[in-house]
A and B are shown apart, each in its own frame.
Chain A
């Protein structure tokens, strides 16, 4: 596994892709989850009872960055996109989770879709932690399978 990471991230392009994906997701999620505010001035705030939720955001962003960048490498190597789809689905589910408590996204959902929007918002809020854990699980599996697969493909190629 270590060898596979070395192969992929020996190319600085994939490090940049991973950092970009991590930053985008991390900033989006901590902003939506109201850990970070940009107005009226930049404020970062985390309460002790929200530490777990914040940790999940870090893991979700990290796993997404690894899964997507490794799968981009994989696509370039063998032109196969199945696992990239899985990693993006995992990321999307994780990003959606907990993004709809009482912020503007919930408001838009509810005003646009009425009862269905309200139910969706409520569901995502209630099951925020399990959904994020599931997403991290999916992404972990994708990383594991991709690593194994890359290791095998690299051996054959070499």
Chain B
């Protein structure tokens, strides 16, 4: 009887492992749900030329480890080869879900935007990222980052105490799910002028982006 129980526990554990495998593979087959036409008329800040024919939408969380990996390994090559050359632009959509500081960090970028420092602040956050909610993106640290960028601290403080940046974060979070069908970070949607789109889930290497963007130019 005792052996039967142990076998049952073992079988349950194996089923759990198989379930995890099935779940991991099922989300990867969700690509048919990609919206074929993506609305671009919402409040976003684009990096790169407004006339670029391809837009790379990144759905991310400032506390996401894999987003940082993509930021460090893939993004620089995309900036050099597609953004700086005017072929593509980049949009960041916030999906803060990993911890309480994710929301504050995202809100801080919009306060930075009021002083035209959005992308510099964005870069700083990924450069300074540590573990989830361990204090690296606390309100005090977010203020320190703003200070390091020579921002007007009075305006930044006033902005952070208001609802406005948090409303923008909520707007993005909703868009991440409804327009881009994101349920993890990083998720990317590459859109071209014809309205074709391709979804990429995960911190893919540069080669993936190169192949897709080149095919959409």
Partner-B contacts on A (CB < 8 A): 24-25, 27-28, 31-32, 34, 37-41, 43, 45, 47, 79-82, 84-85, 88-89, 91-92, 95, 99, 101-108, 110-111, 118, 121-122, 125-126
Contact = CB atoms under 8 A, between A and B. Distances in A.
Interface in B4-57: 6-7, 9-10, 13-14, 16-18, 20-21, 23-25, 27-29, 31
Nearest to A88: B13
Contacts of A79: 3
A81 B73 contact: no
B203 interface: yes
Nearest to B27: A104
A101 B3 CA distance: 36
Given A40-B198, A122-B133, A32 B24 contact: yes
B20 A99 contact: yes
Question: Taking chain A's interface residues, is the majority helix, strand, or loop, or is none over half, making it mixed?
Answer: helix
Given A47-B69, A102-B186, A91 B17 contact: yes
Interface in B48-78: 61, 63-67, 69, 73
B131 interface: yes
Interface residues of B, number: 49
Count chain B CB atoms within 10 A of each CB in A80, A82, A88 and give the residue with the most: A88
Interface stretch (B105-113, B163-171, B204-212): B204-212
Secondary structure at the B interface, as helix, strand, loop or mixed, is helix
Contact of A38 (B20, B28, B69, B98): B28
Nearest to A103: B184
B184 A104 contact: yes
Contacts of A37: 28, 201-202, 204, 208
A105 B26 CA distance: 12
Contacts of A85: 6, 9-10
A80 B63 CA distance: 46
Ranked nearest first, the 5 interchain pairs of A and B with the lowest CB-CB distance are A102-B64, A45-B205, A81-B6, A104-B184, A122-B132
Contact of A24 (B21, B132, B186, B212): B21
B100 to A, nearest CB: 8
Nearest to A72: B10
| Among A27, A101, A108, A126: residue with most chain B CB under 10 A | A101
Contacts of B201: 37, 39, 104
Nearest to B130: A126
B53 to A, nearest CB: 19
A102 B6 contact: no
28 contacts: A28-B17, A32-B20, A37-B28, A37-B201, A38-B25, A39-B28, A39-B31, A40-B31, A40-B200, A40-B208, A43-B208, A45-B205, A47-B69, A82-B6, A84-B6, A85-B10, A88-B9, A92-B17, A99-B20, A101-B66, A102-B67, A103-B184, A104-B24, A104-B201, A105-B20, A105-B23, A108-B183, A122-B98
